[in-house]
């Protein structure tokens, strides 16, 4: 807290600095074929809502949507659905809905029909304030996704990332940003003239942890998103970095430099008790928790090059197990949501950095990206999408892909963006 005393805290107005621009570059080869009949209602509202829903579904890569211009807007009644006609059009599903707007609320009602089984599979209502139109659209597309793909959608989740805007004299303005999963509704959580790295979500989505260099030294802070209240997590005169929240929200794993070298510790947030987890002459950092909270992954230089290790937290004095063996640089790993594998940064033999994945059941790695300096992969909570940082020309931006083959880019409205972190499910 001593560090905070010298800082001026100013609450910023909720200014939108512009949005990341979403661009879908590729889609899956075997998508669900879905006809969405434009949701009728007030035309401006309807147009925006339909556009957001369609973009959400396209971005998953798992949907091929019937061109809207081929469809006449029509009111769909359950007993009037001509399943045979939709089948002839090659559709698997039909989605129809309407928007009911009053002065201070918008209701979105929608129905989903399975063309092959010839029956209605979902009837839903989502309601909110007129200024929550994008959220209404995201909830709706998540409902559609869940009914058709069979797993929860992530359109209503959020992203954290770091924005770095350089002025003419090359001074940077660093911002920790919060945005919807499609890059819209961008808001500033922290603005500083010193670097900000390693943003991490609390499991309930209410807080963020990150590393800020505002005191001239790397320190980890926890900030409440709604109130802006923030605290340095440990008041030690040492560098602290790489925060990761345990799935139950009670612990933070961290890298501390008090031993003259990067070592991993676990901090119990309730009483600030620190437990040292690694004791090595080499670098140990970038810890992340397993979905069940019983293991951590981390990067260690103990073999002579950065490699990924796993530590079992249930066993006393457990020995870390090396998980990566291909190549001389594997780092910043995290588990897939069902622990079926890990995703990490891999340097290939040509010296370029890519995002790679290794499934538990396989004894080889899969290289998933093809730019030259791909970094910081973060997996969506449903495990079907990954967002990461790329550099194109000399511009850093975010890119993503779905495991079913779609890829997309989120170029920044200004400056560079990097270090994305995907939230948990928030609805």
Partner 1 sequence: MKKSLNTVFASTALIIFTACSSLQVTEESVSNQAVAGVMVSPKSQATQAVLANAVIYFEYDKFTLTSKSIQALKGVVTLMRKNPKIMLSLEGHADERGTREYNLALGQRRSESVANYLIANGIKRNQLSVKSFGEERPLSLGSNDSAWSKNRRVEIK
Report the site for partner 1 in 291-320 (rule: CB under 8 A): 299, 301, 305-306
Radius of gyration of the chain (CA): 23
Q: Which is nearer to partner 1, 177 or 313 (CB)?
A: 177
Give least dist CB 4 to partner 1, A: 9
In DSSP terms, 108 is beta-bridged to: 99, 126
Q: Which is nearer to partner 1, 27 or 419 (CB)?
A: 419
Length of the chain: 427
Residue 115 engages partner 1 in binding (rule: CB under 8 A): no
Measured CA to CA in angstroms, residue 57 lies from 65, 68, 164, 257 at distances of 8, 14, 30, 44
Q: Whole-angstrom Cα distance, residue 53 to residue 40? A: 13
The footprint of partner 1 on residues 159-178 (CB under 8 A) is 170, 178
Residue 10 engages partner 1 in binding (rule: CB under 8 A): yes
- Joined tokens for residue 100: 């009911």
Give least dist CB 189 to partner 1, A: 6
**Nearest 5°: phi and psi at 272?**
60, 30
Cα-Cα-Cα-Cα dihedral sign, residues 418, 424, 425, 427: negative
Residue 135 engages partner 1 in binding (rule: CB under 8 A): yes
**Among residues 51, 116, 118, 119, the one that binds partner 1 under rule CB under 8 A:** 119
Question: How many Cα neighbours within 13 Å face the side chain of 52?
Answer: 24
Q: Which is nearer to partner 1, 26 or 118 (CB)?
A: 118
- Joined tokens for residue 111: 């129905």
Measured CA to CA in angstroms, residue 159 lies from 53, 105, 186, 189 at distances of 18, 26, 9, 12
Q: Which is nearer to partner 1, 21 or 127 (CB)?
A: 127
Nearby residues of 51 by Cβ (< 8 Å), 6 or more positions away = none
The footprint of partner 1 on residues 204-223 (CB under 8 A) is 205-206, 212-218, 223
Strand order in the sheet with 375-379: 23-26, 407-410, 395-402, 385-392, 375-379
**Among residues 116, 228, 248, 268, the one that binds partner 1 under rule CB under 8 A:** 228
Residue 416 engages partner 1 in binding (rule: CB under 8 A): no
**Among residues 1, 2, 6, 103, the one that binds partner 1 under rule CB under 8 A:** 6
The footprint of partner 1 on residues 372-391 (CB under 8 A) is 373, 375-376, 391
Q: Whole-angstrom Cα distance, residue 38 to residue 53? A: 10
Measured CA to CA in angstroms, residue 341 lies from 117, 145, 330, 334, 358 at distances of 35, 24, 14, 9, 5
Give least dist CB 342 to partner 1, A: 14
Instruction: Spell out, one character per residue from 319 to 338, where the chain touches partner 1: x when CB under 8 A holds, - when not.
Output: ----------x-xx------
Number of residues counted as binding partner 1 (CB under 8 A): 86
Give least dist CB 187 to partner 1, A: 5
Residue 424 engages partner 1 in binding (rule: CB under 8 A): no
The footprint of partner 1 on residues 14-53 (CB under 8 A) is 14
Nearby residues of 131 by Cβ (< 8 Å), 6 or more positions away = none
Stretch that binds partner 1, among 21-29, 30-38, 64-72, 187-195 (CB under 8 A): 187-195
Q: Whole-angstrom Cα distance, residue 50 to residue 40? A: 9
Q: Which is nearer to partner 1, 351 or 363 (CB)?
A: 351
**Among residues 71, 121, 273, 318, the one that binds partner 1 under rule CB under 8 A:** 121
Q: Which is nearer to partner 1, 126 or 365 (CB)?
A: 126
Instruction: Spell out, one character per residue from 236 to 275, where the chain touches partner 1: x when CB under 8 A holds, - when not.
Output: ---x-xx------------x-x--xxx-------------
Nearby residues of 186 by Cβ (< 8 Å), 6 or more positions away = 16, 17, 18, 19, 20, 177, 178, 179, 413
Residue 151 engages partner 1 in binding (rule: CB under 8 A): no
The footprint of partner 1 on residues 73-112 (CB under 8 A) is none
**Among residues 34, 37, 155, 190, the one that binds partner 1 under rule CB under 8 A:** 190
């Amino acid at each position: 807290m001593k560090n905070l005393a010298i800082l001026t805290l100013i609450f910023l107005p909720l200014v939108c600095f512009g949005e990341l621009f979403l661009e879908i570059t590729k889609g899956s080869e075997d998508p669900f074929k879905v006809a969405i009949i434009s949701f009728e209602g007030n035309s401006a509202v309807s147009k925006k809502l339909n556009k957001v829903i369609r973009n959400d579904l396209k971005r998953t890569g798992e949907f091929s949507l019937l061109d809207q211009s081929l469809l006449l807007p029509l009111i769909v009644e359950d007993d009037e659905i001509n399943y045979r006609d939709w089948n002839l059009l090659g559709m698997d599903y039909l989605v129809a809905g309407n928007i009911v707007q009053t002065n201070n609320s918008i209701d979105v009602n929608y129905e989903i029909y399975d063309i092959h089984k010839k029956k209605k599979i979902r009837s839903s209502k989502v309601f909110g304030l007129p200024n929550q139109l994008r959220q209404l659209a995201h909830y709706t597309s998540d409902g559609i996704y869940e009914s058709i793909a069979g797993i929860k959608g992530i359109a209503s989740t959020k992203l954290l990332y770091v924005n770095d805007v350089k002025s003419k004299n090359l001074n940077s303005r660093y911002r920790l940003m919060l945005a919807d999963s499609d890059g819209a509704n961008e808001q500033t959580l922290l603005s500083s003239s010193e670097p900000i790295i390693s943003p991490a979500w609390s499991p309930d989505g209410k807080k963020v942890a990150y590393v800020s260099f505002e005191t001239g030294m790397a320190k980890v802070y926890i900030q409440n998103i709604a109130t802006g209240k923030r605290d340095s997590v440990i008041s030690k005169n040492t560098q602290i970095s790489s925060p990761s929240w345990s799935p139950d929200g009670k612990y933070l794993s961290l890298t501390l430099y008090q031993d003259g070298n990067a070592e991993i510790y676990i901090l119990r947030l309730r009483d600030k008790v620190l437990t040292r987890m690694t004791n090595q002459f080499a670098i140990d950092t970038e810890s992340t928790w397993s979905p069940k909270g019983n293991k951590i992954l981390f990067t260690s230089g103990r073999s002579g090059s950065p490699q990924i290790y796993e530590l079992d937290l249930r066993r006393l004095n457990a020995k870390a197990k090396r998980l990566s063996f291909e190549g001389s640089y594997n780092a910043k790993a995290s588990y897939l949501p069902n622990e079926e594998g890990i995703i990490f940064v891999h340097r290939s033999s040509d010296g370029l950095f890519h995002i790679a994945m290794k499934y538990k059941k396989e004894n080889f790695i899969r290289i998933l990206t093809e730019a030259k300096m791909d970094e910081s992969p973060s997996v969506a909570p449903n495990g079907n999408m990954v967002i990461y940082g790329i550099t194109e020309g000399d511009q850093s931006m975010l890119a993503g892909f779905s495991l079913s083959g779609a890829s997309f880019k989120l170029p920044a409205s200004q400056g560079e963006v990097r270090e994305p972190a995907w939230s948990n499910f928030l609805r």
